[in-house]
Amino acid sequence: MIHLIKKSLAIIMLLCSLWSCSKNEEIKVNDILIQNIDKEGLSIPLNETFLVEASIAPDNADRGGITYKSSDEEIFTVSAKGLITPKNMGAAELIVKTQDGSRLSDQRTITIERPSIETIEVEGMVDGYLIVGYNLEQKVMINLLPENSTPLVTFHTDDASVFTINEAGSALGHRLNGEANLTVRAVHNPEIHTTVKVKVLDLTVSEIVTPTNQLTITPMGGTYQLRKELTILPAIAAGVELRYESNRPDIATVDEAGVVTAKGRGEVEITISSKDANPVQSTVSFFVEAELSYTGWTATASSFNASQGTPGAILVDGASPFWHSKWEGGSEKLPHWILVDMKAERMITEIMINRRSTNTDLRKAIIEVSQNGGTFTSVGEINWGSAPASDDKRFASFAKQKVRYIRITITESNRGDNASINRMRVYGASE
């Protein structure tokens, strides 16, 4: 019996020894690697996902779990299984780590780019056809969905004797009244495509009808969609491309789509021409106000009425807000000044002062400008004299100057020492 017990103890000790040896020889992770993303990183369209493949070495390590993390979940998130889901365009880091406490990791830069194309639509179809001009080159307009898709497509004709089309999508008709097919394909996935019928017709423009009144753009940098205001005759030629030219690019520019952009204050003419062999022309007149934005600007004054009449009111629209020299508790002597800080140097060419339309107290003021707030240069004097209250605006126009500060000094009043201003407006010029 004692012999059997001793034999059993020996077996138990041997097993314990073997278990202890096995534990001391645990296989540890010595490397981790993202396998399916190059070191340079990866770009993923906003409307797609990507499954990360990562591995550890050796692959028989005892604790071989992997964790996935995004450095910015506003850009993309990543699941516990490595599925990247884009959230917004931008770049962030994908970080993979081991779970064994070894702190081994690997990472890649993930860039979320514009969404890939899902649907392609050809615009300007007429009775089931895309009309292409005979001997007239024109751009084929397409609509890609979702919005903001990466605009990478190819264009193909199935009969180059009818029309040809280049890589940029400009089609040229060769056979009058001929018909053929146009196919537009997504580069990233050729299975996404659309095919439309094309007919070649004579699209010679006979007249470009333009607005007869002068058009206006108010804000500096504002735009006007001129193409939408034009009528092209005959109606079949309504979709043809046109040429646009500004006679004063310092006042307004115009792009190939007919979008007019305000660059400075003044009048400008935009000439519109057809692209025919014998082009027809029309012109449109614009007045560009080029009014600056007052966001962030501040105003101080030598005198103001605290309960009603603070200087910042001259930067706010409406009849009610206005600056007024101090009147409560006794008025203060002329002159009064208001100093406007535009917070940055801006190129300007005209300043408008709008006095209150309910009284005539403001009679005369001097307008000065400065780059540093210390040295000022006079750019004009405004004078109402004895004009009625309804005559409430005066302008100081001058050669364009790049300045930061504007100072208005009221030197004369029609009502003792009292003075008020309803609004100041500042108009910009091109650099």
- The pLDDT assigned to 22 comes to 47
Q: Can you tell me the distance from the alpha carbon of 136 to that of 239, in angstroms, rounded to the nearest whole number?
A: 12
In the chain, what are the domains? 31-113 (2.60.40.1080), 119-201 (2.60.40.1080), 207-291 (2.60.40.1080), 298-429 (2.60.120.260)
Strand pairing category for 281-291 and 215-219: parallel
CA quadruple 201, 202, 206, 210: dihedral positive or negative?
positive
Q: Which residues of the chain have pLDDT under 70?
A: 1-26, 62-64
As a whole number of Å, the end-to-end CA separation of the chain is 109
- The pLDDT assigned to 64 comes to 64
Would you say 235 and 167 are in contact if contact means Cβ atoms under 8 Å apart? no
Q: Can you tell me the distance from the alpha carbon of 175 to that of 164, in angstroms, rounded to the nearest whole number?
A: 10
pTM of the model: 0.70
Would you say 323 and 379 are in contact if contact means Cβ atoms under 8 Å apart? no
Q: What digits encode the pLDDT tens for the residues 307-344?
A: 889 999 999 998 788 999 999 988 899 999 999 999 99
- The pLDDT assigned to 190 comes to 93
Closest CA to 343 of 324, 368, 371, 367: 371
**One-letter amino acid of 366:** I
- The pLDDT assigned to 20 comes to 46
- The pLDDT assigned to 19 comes to 47
- The pLDDT assigned to 9 comes to 52
Residue 372: count of CB within 10 angstroms of its CB: 10
Q: Can you tell me the distance from the alpha carbon of 311 to that of 408, in angstroms, rounded to the nearest whole number?
A: 11
